Amino acid sequence: MRIAIVSVVIMIGFLSLWAQRGERGEPPRGGGLANKVPDLPAGAFTAGSTVARTNLRHEWVDIPLGSVKVHTWIEYPNNLEKAPIIIVMQHAAGLDDWMRALADQLALQGFIAIAPDILSGMGPNSGNFESFRFPDDAIKAMSRLKSEEALRRYKAAWNYGMKLPQANGKGAVLGVGMGGSAAFQFAADVAETNAAVVFYGTAPGEAVLARIKAPVLGLYGDQDLVSTPTVESAAVTMKRLGKTFESHVYPGATQEFMRSQAEGQNGAATAAAWPVTLAFLQQHLK
């Protein structure tokens, strides 16, 4: 009972802090428990409402791929102009509300966001992501999915997206966590990729980096002890190979900093990283 009371007090304190900042006319630093900054992706606590309340055109499509149909979430910008596509590559938790909210943010800012459910057909009774009862069940299923099969499904989404009437012929990949690692590999496999954005994804070895033609942007937190140690080596290798690799490591930020924005310096890292991401994508896609 005492622990529960302390937790409630801490939560009230967080919400009070955000309310006070709003009253002073100060924007939240990279979002918070109950606040989403319009020009930044949602955090863990605002993702569900972001997806539910979006006014952007969106749809589910089932993309045929052999014996599987890749269940895919697509959101479009609110204009009639042709736009680049971005394949949104998911973190270990799968195509949850947060990943769909990230797609929503990309569409809001002018891109056709395509988020394939790479667990399609792998759930209970051959269901998709939503068929998993608990998040840890989806994570376990994700750990059993071979990277080659994940990439095959991402490529199917890419091929579908490139043929959309509103697509302008340019495309990028944006991956988070394990999806960030997949973004490196995708850029190596698909020469037509115009840009790749990696949020705290482990960098591959030289054999993969050597095949990448697209410019790559990597965004990391210095408290991430898994992915961030691979950044310096990748930067050195990419430079030696004559490739473009722009990397940013944010102080005090953890892995998953863009999802867990209320933790430590993660909000500040998100507020710094997202404008860099947009500028990079606009430079190479518009």
CATH fold of 37-285 reads Rossmann fold (3.40.50)
**Is 123 in contact with 206 (CB distance < 8 Å)?**
no
162 three-state secondary structure: helix
Q: How far apart are CA 221 and CA 270, in angstroms?
A: 10
99 three-state secondary structure: helix
Query: Residue 43: how many CA atoms within 13 Å on its side-chain side?
Result: 22
CB atoms within 10 A of CB 177: 24
> Taking the C-alpha atoms of 202, 147, 70 and 113 in order, what is their torsion angle to the nearest 10 degrees?
20
**How would you class 109 by CB atoms within 10 Å of its CB: exposed for 0-12, middle for 13-18, buried for 19 or more?**
middle
Taking the alpha carbons at both ends of the chain, their separation in whole angstroms is 55
**Is 100 in contact with 73 (CB distance < 8 Å)?**
yes
Domain layout of the chain by residue ranges = 37-285
Q: List the chain pLDDT tens, one digit each, 286 residues.
A: 443 333 333 333 333 333 333 333 344 444 557 789 999 999 999 999 999 999 999 999 999 999 999 999 999 999 889 999 999 999 999 999 999 999 999 999 999 999 999 999 999 999 999 999 999 999 999 999 999 999 999 999 999 999 999 999 999 999 999 999 999 999 999 999 999 999 999 999 999 999 999 999 999 999 999 999 999 999 999 999 999 999 999 999 999 999 999 899 999 999 999 999 999 999 999 8
Task: List the one residue out of 181, 215, 209 whose CA is nearest residue 91.
Answer: 181
